[in-house]
Amino acid sequence: MVTRNRRVAEAIKEAVGDILQSQMKDPRIGLASVVKVQASPDLRWAKIYVSVLGDDEAKRQTLAGLESGSGFIRSELGKRVRLHHTPELVFVMDDSIAYGVRISKLLMDIKDEQERK
């Protein structure tokens, strides 16, 4: 069952990523990419972690656009991923990529400082 859940979550991730890139026309949605999908054991809901390129305002606007368009995204998802019930979608902002970039920059700064000494 766990393996099925992972396969379904991966299928949802790919489908929602494609829908965001090719079908969403909402101008509030910026450069967003699906980082991870966490599906409930009964597949009734899916938490979709999204990374957005931009400042906090762009992230807030994108999240508002995604929540507004969640019905459309869910209906498109139902056409692409065949399940008994199409899961309810919950969008969550994921800052792990930005965090990783920040950590890398800090490490590079430390390395440069040590080389200067």
Q: Which residue has the tokens 């026309």?
A: 25
Q: What is the CATH number of the domain that holds 76?
A: 3.30.300.20
The answer to pTM > 0.85 is no
Q: How far apart are CA 99 and CA 113, in angstroms?
A: 21
Domain that includes residue 24, residue range: 2-116
DSSP characters over 64-114: HHHHHTHHHHHHHHHHHS--SSPPEEEEEE--HHHHHHHHHHHHHHHHHHH
Q: Which residue has the tokens 């606007």?
A: 61
Positions in the chain short of pLDDT 70? 1-2
pLDDT of residue 4: 87
pLDDT of residue 102: 83
Q: How many domains does the chain have?
A: 1
Lateral strand order in the sheet of 88-93 = 32-39, 45-52, 88-93
CB 89 within 8 A of CB 53: no
